[in-house]
Structure 1
């Protein structure tokens, strides 16, 4: 059993709790790690769900939730839930009211307009969040790694693919050498075999993670090719393979997640890389 926390050590807010979980995640037993991943990826469900419903969704026993809470110094799971509920109360005022207004639209008359408003609202939330979720120093390190690479390998599948496609287009216009992994010819393995320590990779994957993207990022990392990644959880398989990784959770409307913040991030990263390469070439 872990040594109980003192009252002073018990996390008092969501950000502190998140930092402590990430700090200890490597030492957590398998089931507690499972709960940790679920709680950080689904904080709203932790706030509103019952112990039984959360345990079912996280694929653990309800008693595991209690053990998880006590591991971090809480008396029980309900005490831990208060941290997640406080996080919701600290959100931008009016958010729930705006969603309620959208749900109450006259769908027989304004169905398409309501859907439009919902996606615009989700895009706004995503863009609001990105300003505080991206560490400027980490962004600078990522730009430095990718700007110094001879070739940048772009790795993304499924929902993430539009991000790498945009970057491939922009790199071409900006005269930055790249390889877009994911060819119709099925030669990804041959393409990745050409990567060296002088190159770098940028990988993108969101839950449910593309196993092929995770495998390709791991392959490059094992060969000492630096990897930078964009994902949506500290427990993403991309995080463990990356020199620098960014956690970005997009807002959704009716279960459909936006790519607004991810595309903004990709645009900023692409242009910053090109500008850094220009300065390096000119000896600045």
Structure 2
């Protein structure tokens, strides 16, 4: 199927580089569980190092991936390409599209932070800036727009995230429901996962969060919703994640940190971007819902009023 997609991409109406790379990444992720051990090593490196694949020689990439050059060539052909160079062109095109420019304030903050000798503080800060920087790229911008379109078109939206990513799911559901009342947080408490997911079917969307070690409940939720025809938007840390197969859209977000627990900073930031995109491009009703929510909260005395 990718072979046809790749041929279509070369025409006058071709998708841009990030879209083509996204298609390659999706197929790699779908094929990953069935690959041989050597091809898995190669695929893992390709998924995690798109810039290196774009500009390194096949031998250098093979050495870094701890496979032979012929293994990378076999992987490219497995993906429907005639040669590794043709495969690499997809990565070069996407990388050359360039990241969305970030404000220079991050550099200023790093400069200020360097004036202290607290290395833990600096290391956590470095990881945070790097994680956020990896989020705001041209290909993710395109994914966000498509994800917002799917969310706005959905009849119902289920949000799933357990243990380390429950905070992400809760934040998405709490903030999202202010504008979009059709969002439901799936808690799966007391064996109620199947019951909570039973009302969802075709025309609905599930947003799932999961980092390694992946929760069995999240896998089960995706299996249930996939069988019911629900479209999945997955937020995870790698395209090799077992949550990826079957997903309509996947956001691989960086979660590295010196902290003892995976960072959810990028995932929370992605939530803010997705929901902002929905309100920006959605119907006027969403803005009205936000205004109505605020009015109700103030009327109920939910906020401290300052004189």
**For this structure pair, what is the TM-score category when the shorter chain's length is used for normalisation?**
0.5 to 0.7
Q: Which residue of 2 aligns with 1:38?
A: 44
CA distance in 1: counterparts of 2:146 and 2:46, whole angstroms: 25
CA distance in 2: counterparts of 1:20 and 1:224, whole angstroms: 21
Q: CA deviation at 1:157?
A: 1.8
Q: Which residue of 2 aligns with 1:197?
A: 202
CA distance in 2: counterparts of 1:151 and 1:239, whole angstroms: 21
Q: CA deviation at 1:135?
A: 3.0
CA distance in 2: counterparts of 1:264 and 1:33, whole angstroms: 33
Q: CA deviation at 1:280?
A: 7.0
Find the partner of 1:164 among 157, 162, 169: 169
Q: Is the 8 A contact 1:163 1:262 kept in 2?
A: yes
**Structure 1: runs of 5 or more not aligned:** 1-14, 56-63, 75-86, 88-94
Find the partner of 2:144 among 139, 158, 164: 139
Pairing of 1:70-85 with structure 2 (within 5 A) = 71=74
Q: Which residue of 1 aligns with 2:220?
A: 215
In structure 2, relative to structure 1, the CA distance for the partners of 1:33 and 1:21 (3 Å cut) is farther
CA distance in 2: counterparts of 1:170 and 1:280, whole angstroms: 16
CA distance in 1: counterparts of 2:68 and 2:163, whole angstroms: 33
Q: Does 1:114 align with 2:119?
A: yes
Q: CA deviation at 1:70?
A: 5.1
| TM-score relative to the length of structure 1 | 0.64
| TM-score relative to the length of structure 2 | 0.60
Q: Does 1:260 align with 2:265?
A: yes
CA distance in 2: counterparts of 1:198 and 1:70, whole angstroms: 39
Tell me the matched-pair count: 234
Pairing of 1:57-76 with structure 2 (within 5 A) = 65=68, 68-69=71-72, 71=74
CA deviation profile, 1:133-173 (whole Å, cap 9, x unmatched): 64333221211111122321001122222111111221233
State the Cα RMSD in Å: 4.4
Q: Which residue of 2 aligns with 1:244?
A: 249
In structure 2, relative to structure 1, the CA distance for the partners of 1:142 and 1:70 (3 Å cut) is closer
Q: CA deviation at 1:281?
A: 7.4
SS in 1 for 2:238: coil
